[in-house]
Amino acid sequence: MGLNLNLVGRVSKRGLFGGAPQPAELLRRIRDWLADHRQLLQPEFRSWCDEGEGHKLTARLHPAADPVLFVAPAPGVVRVSAKTSTAGPGYHLFLCDLLHVAEEAFRLRWDPPDPERGIGDEAGYFESGRKTEPYVEVLRWLERLARDVLKVVEETEASDLAINLEVGHRYRHDGILATPLGPRDLHWLHRVAERPEEGRDIFPWWYEGLDARMWLGRALARMWTDVRWRAPITSGERRKNTEAVGLLEQAYGANPALDYPWREWAELYAWTEGSRKAEVEARAAALTAPARIGYRRRDVTVDLPSGWSIRVPGSFAEEVLEDGLWSARDAVREIGLQSATISNRSVPPLDPQDILDRLAPGETGLPELRTRRVTGRGSLTRHDSGDRPYWELKTTNAAQGRAAIVTVIYEDPADRDWAMDVWRSVDFRPS
């Protein structure tokens, strides 16, 4: 669903490399080229090798866009896959043009479109050069989407739907539909179903080119989903705050007449240096309404690949450690979740009570957690060692042959009810 780009490129053996480059070397050079490309702002990379599929590289070029996937299955061959409709047709044009620039940089020749193999640009722009095509396709898709969402809402009364947002987080908001640029209500859906062009306000990169509208849209996408709205505690948070401020300043310098988020911009200056602080703070002070941008001002439900989910403060910093432990924290509180599959030869899987009896026979002191899908046991312990005493809520939770150890650590005794609410939010939904 959406607008996709799937290409296969082949390096000329008489080109830059003096022969077909090996997969790892080709992707390394592509990564270096993207990192040095002056039109890109701090791309985020990840590289690995899948047995049977070859070397892979992902490059996230926009905070609202899915990462672009580069796969090198054989020497001198690269497959490129991207979903571009999440950021908008302007991003689609930019990425296609960037990949054409790569033709000369790497002596690439792209395979012709092949619908049977799923190769080509679904909008047709990569091959035709007609810039109207991505806009036509996105509007068609948006109209269908609005009608489909309205049908779901009417049949189920759902209010936690999302579009064009990264899988893994569910945000709380006051609308019907979460988008990269904030929630939208039922009235918006009806309007877009009739006039899809009115839905372009959910795309951070609608217009062609690198102009003030693009810089502002990129900043807003970062502010809605990534900024934690507190003093940063990780280098990644500081980088994203700095990026958002830089984008706002760059956009304002190019076009001061756009609709800027003065209150939220002023908030960012509390943690980030910038050149327009006095002016922005003065404009923000003249406004009476509170700041509204930022899903992470409220709790966020995190959906983990293991099927477990947990609701945490949106302001928490998150990471996944090498042993698979997911953790989230702020300056004084921390949450951890470690999942496991309980091996059992019998079918159906072990009953949750049997799992708890195996893993947590002595975990008592608190009432058992019993929800529609999860059963859990927990204990609460005060630790006095060290300079800062703390409380540890340690729980074992079971569902459908799976287990999750959830730990909540806090220092203020007043946070006990909060820690219990975090535990009660634990859920399991098999993929």
Only one residue has tokens 């390394």, namely 28
* Parallel, antiparallel or unpaired: strands 120-121 and 44-50: unpaired
Q: Which fold has domain 4-128?
A: TATA-Binding Protein (3.30.310)
Q: Which amino acid is at 280?
A: V
Alpha helices, DSSP H, located in 84-131:
89-106, 125-128
Task: Dig out the tokens for 318 from the structure.
Answer: 């998150």
Closest CA to 65 of 38, 19, 33, 98: 98
pTM of the model: 0.92
Three-state SS string over 255-288 comes to CCCCCCCHHHHHHHHCCCCCCCHHHHHHHHHCCC
Per-residue pLDDT of the chain (431 residues; tens, 9 = 90+): 689 999 999 998 655 556 788 999 999 999 999 998 866 677 889 998 887 788 999 999 999 999 999 999 999 999 999 999 999 999 999 999 999 999 999 999 999 999 999 999 999 999 999 999 999 999 999 999 999 999 999 898 777 899 999 999 999 999 999 999 999 999 999 999 999 999 999 999 999 999 999 999 999 999 999 999 999 999 999 999 999 999 999 999 999 999 999 999 999 999 999 999 999 999 999 999 888 999 999 999 999 989 999 999 999 999 998 778 999 999 999 999 999 887 655 566 778 888 888 887 776 679 999 999 999 999 999 999 778 899 999 999 999 889 999 999 999 999 999 999 999 999 998 76
> What residues does each domain of the chain span?
4-128, 136-285, 302-428
Q: For tokens 């203020």, what's the residue?
A: 412
Tell me the residue length of the chain.
Answer: 431
CATH of region 302-428, choose from 3.90.1300.10, 1.10.240.10, 3.20.20.70, 2.60.120.1690: 2.60.120.1690
Beta strands 4-11 and 77-83 are antiparallel
Give Cα 333 distance to the centre of its chain.
Answer: 23
Give exposure, 414-428, as e/b (b: 16+ Cβ within 10 Å). ebeeebbebbebbbb
Provide the b/e sequence for 71-102 (b: ≥16 CB within 10 Å).
bbeeebbbbbbbbbbbbbbbbbbbbbbbbeeb
Distances (CA, A) of 292 to 183, 218, 227, 387, 413: 11, 17, 13, 38, 31
Pairing state between β 108-110 and 161-162? unpaired
* 4-128 and 302-428 agree in CATH topology: no
